[in-house]
Amino acid sequence: IQLTQSPSSLSASVGDRVTITCRASQDISSYLAWYQQKPGEAPKLLIYAASTLQSGVPSRFSGSGSGTDFTLTISSLQPEDFATYYCQQLVTYPLTFGPGTKVDIK
């Protein structure tokens, strides 16, 4: 299963609403996770089952979608949110990741 993400990068300001899209090459139901990765750090799980917030993740992060189209939304971008975001399909091995979306400061 192939995953694509758009955009590949974006520039935004603190307080902006940011939306990242992930599209799967076939129906994956709701078996999608989102991760945040900062330079030099391991990825961090943000959302699983397409829309379930992982424990401890701020509520400004939300996920939606099912089937082949998914969205990660950050409602009000904070300084600590500048990072690269990856989606991952969980339905079948190999558990592919999307190519990533880099969010940097405008």
The binding site for another protein (CB under 8 A) comprises: 30-31, 33, 35, 37, 42-45, 47-49, 52, 54, 86, 88, 90-91, 93-100
Instruction: Return the number of the residue (74 or 98) whose C-beta is nearest another protein.
Output: 98
CB 51 within 8 A of CB 63: yes
Q: Could you give the CA distance from residue 83 to residue 1 in angstroms, rounded to a whole number? A: 25
Instruction: Return the number of the residue (47 or 77) whose C-beta is nearest another protein.
Output: 47
Min dist CB 13 to another protein, Å, is 25
Instruction: Return the number of the residue (16 or 68) whose C-beta is nearest another protein.
Output: 68
Q: Could you give the CA distance from residue 83 to residue 4 in angstroms, rounded to a whole number? A: 18
Task: Provide the 8-state DSSP code for 54.
Answer: P
Min dist CB 84 to another protein, Å, is 8
State the Cα torsion 24-38-62-97 to the nearest 10°: 10
Min dist CB 14 to another protein, Å, is 26
